[in-house]
């Protein structure tokens, strides 16, 4: 039997429970997307995720944001002098968006980026980028400090190696950010397949960027014919 003394000692040694935050669902009305530094120089040395998967997931996220009319801000860093232009797959997904190019590593320190987010009047920022441990990490911490809710898309972000990516995730979670992957973001925006205004476009994105799900939908449709 555990003595009262030992129970008291364990209770005193345990860290106090943290107050839980209730985070409501992502919607097309409360979200803003911030895509950071998807450029050749950073892709060349990204090893925490296969490049094909990274580009596929990032492009799928941008396309989903366009379908749901979620404000999308895209940045590059030192594009002309070092890192190169935005990847063409992402530019093709949002041909009307001109990336904000900067020199500072923390995109939030560039007033054009931070002000673009603030102007949306939305408090849920969905972030993805290269690399996770700096170009995603730093603006995420800055946005959290300013009172935003940050959702960072782990499978549309990458880093020099898996250790850097994983430590960045750990630090972001400890700071209060929420890890998520791109597909659940799109499905949260969709909410209900009865929303026919977007359901067809979502199905097309699934076919192209999540083919296993798209094939299943194709099979189900064929069975009903």
Annotated active-site positions, please?
135
pTM: 0.87
In-domain check, residue 41: yes
* In a domain? residue 2: no
Domain membership flag for residue 21: no
DSSP 86-107: PPHHHHHHSTTPPPEEESSSSG
Look at residue 219 and tell me if it is in a domain.
Answer: no
Asked if 132 and 170 touch (Cβ cutoff 8 Å), the reply is no
Give the per-residue pLDDT at 212. Answer: 86
The CATH number that applies at residue 112 is 3.40.50.850
- pLDDT tens digits for the chain (225 residues)? 444 444 334 334 444 444 445 568 999 999 999 999 999 999 999 999 999 999 999 999 999 999 999 999 999 999 999 999 999 999 999 999 999 999 999 999 999 999 999 999 999 999 999 999 999 999 999 999 999 999 999 999 999 999 999 999 999 999 999 999 999 999 999 999 999 999 999 999 999 999 888 776 666 666 666
Q: Is residue 23 part of a domain?
A: no
Edge-to-edge order in the sheet of strand 72-77 = 100-102, 72-77, 31-36, 124-129, 149-153, 178-180
Q: Let me know if residue 208 belongs to a domain.
A: no
Helix (H, G, I), strand (E, B) or coil at 37: coil
Task: Check residue 24 and give its pLDDT.
Answer: 85
Structural domain count, the chain: 1
Q: Is residue 18 part of a domain?
A: no
Strands, E, within the chain: which ranges?
31-36, 72-77, 100-102, 124-129, 149-153, 178-180
pLDDT at position 191: 96
Q: Write out the two tokens for 101.
A: 């190019």
What's the domain range around 42?
31-190
Buried-exposed string 18-30: b where 16+ CB fall within 10 A, e elsewhere: eeeeeeeebebee
């Amino acid at each position: 039997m555990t003595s009262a003394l030992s129970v008291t000692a364990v209770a005193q040694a345990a860290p106090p429970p943290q107050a839980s935050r209730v985070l409501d669902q992502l919607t097309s009305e409360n979200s803003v997307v911030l895509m950071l530094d998807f450029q050749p120089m950073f892709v060349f040395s990204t090893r925490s995720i296969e490049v094909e998967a990274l580009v596929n997931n990032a492009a799928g996220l941008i396309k989903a944001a366009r379908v749901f009319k979620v404000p999308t801000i895209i940045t590059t860093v030192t594009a002309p002098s070092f890192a190169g232009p935005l990847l063409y797959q992402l530019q093709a997904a949002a041909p009307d968006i001109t990336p904000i190019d900067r020199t500072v590593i923390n995109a939030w320190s560039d007033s054009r980026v931070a002000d673009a987010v603030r102007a949306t009047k939305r408090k849920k920022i969905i972030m993805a980028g290269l690399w996770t441990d700096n170009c995603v990490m730093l603006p995420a911490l800055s946005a959290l400090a300013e009172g935003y809710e940050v959702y960072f898309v782990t499978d549309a972000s990458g880093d020099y190696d898996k250790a850097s990516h994983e430590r960045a995730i750990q630090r972001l979670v400890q700071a209060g950010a929420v890890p998520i992957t791109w597909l659940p973001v799109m499905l949260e925006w969709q909410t209900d397949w009865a929303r026919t205004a977007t359901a067809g476009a979502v199905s097309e994105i699934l076919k192209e960027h999540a083919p296993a799900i798209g094939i299943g939908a194709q099979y189900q449709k064929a069975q009903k014919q």
